[in-house]
Amino acid sequence: MSRIAYVNGRYLRHDDAQVHVEDRGYQFSDGVYEVAAVCRGRVIDEEPHLDRLECSLAELRMDLPLPRSALRLVTREVLRRNRVRDGMVYLQVTRGAAARDHPFPEEAIGAVVLTARPVRWPEAAADDGGVAVVSMPDGRWGRCDVKSVSLLPNVLAKQAAREQGAYEAWFVDAEGRVTEGSSTNAWIVDDAGRVVTRDLESNILGGITRQRVIGLAREAGLEVAERAFTLAEAQAAPEAFLTSTTSFVRGIVSIDGHTVGSGAPGPATVRLRELYLDYCRNGRANR
């Protein structure tokens, strides 16, 4: 079965799915995107993803290219045509094609691409042995809250991490405080048992998984603090973990070669992973 992509109103085989050479996403990174997980046929947190897409587009002074109802329908159709019940959806919106010139073109029509692919999500919370992260200076632009396709620093950081045998790169700001990972949000559990993740400012992406995990943690009676933490605090913390749409909740067992906690995902991390997996599987999606 060949994969099918949605491109500007048409469903095309992947091999035939193309965008214009002068698409402003290609030439200027003048576009934004969303990635959502699909579990048992449901798009997890679809509405928050669409809310964030609208916020990102607003920063580019663009409107949603299709009404939400149409985007939901296109998503269902792409999932159906690709027979994806467990997997991910990628949605990208750019300012579209125009003769190359920096200011916004008068007449470009936003370009929309939607793809889906199957992914085998983790079966059990205990599946996670934990991963290593390495730190690097955060040299990104000041508007990391916009989910822009301009991901070069993130790509370079992730590649550097992988070359050092780590799963993720943690960005650190000029004050030595962790902002986030190259494609994940960063968390620790502090000595008082509080679950800590950086507060939302323009220097991190407001992760949909982050928000969901905050809610699940509070429902489970865990105290959550949204505040910055330093790299040193994270290295000395009893637990650390990361979250994202595609990584779910994953324990961190090493930061720049320093073992975190016992060297295995800690109890709060495993509990939150369990709660998030359960949330994805058992029908509370789209709330």
Q: Is the CB of 246 or the CB of 286 nearer to ligand PDD?
A: 246
For ligand PDD, which stretch binds (CB under 6 A), given 54-62, 159-167, 238-246, 264-272?
Answer: 238-246
Our answer to whether residue 158 is catalytic in this structure is: no
Q: Locate all alpha helices (DSSP H) within the chain, ordered by sequence.
A: 24-28, 46-59, 68-81, 152-163, 208-219, 231-236, 267-281
User: Is 19 or 200 the residue whose CB approaches ligand PDD more closely?
Assistant: 200
Phi, psi of 171 (to 5 degrees): -85, 140
The only residue of 244, 251, 254, 280 in contact with ligand PDD, by rule CB under 6 A: 244
Return d(Cα 90, Cα 101) in angstroms, integer: 27
Residues 6+ apart with CB under 8 A from 280: 37, 39, 44, 121, 248
Q: CB nearer to ligand PDD: give 100 or 143.
A: 143
**Residues numbered 149-188 forming contacts with ligand PDD, rule: CB under 6 A:** 154, 180, 183-185
Q: Is 205 in the site for ligand PDD (CB under 6 A)?
A: yes
What does 245-284 look like in DSSP terms, one character per residue?
TTTEEEEEEEETTEEPTTSS--HHHHHHHHHHHHHHHTT-
Query: Which of the residues 95, 147, 271, 273 is marked catalytic?
Result: 147
Cα–Cα dist 285/127, whole Å = 22
CA–CA separation, 115 and 219 (whole Å): 34
When asked if residue 269 is in the footprint of ligand PDD (CB under 6 A), the reply is no
Any contact of residue 245 with ligand PDD (CB under 6 A)?
Answer: yes
Span interacting with ligand PDD, options 72-80, 108-116, 216-224, 239-247, rule CB under 6 A: 239-247
Q: Where along the sequence are the contacts to ligand PDD (CB under 6 A)?
A: 35, 154, 180, 183-185, 205, 207-210, 243-246
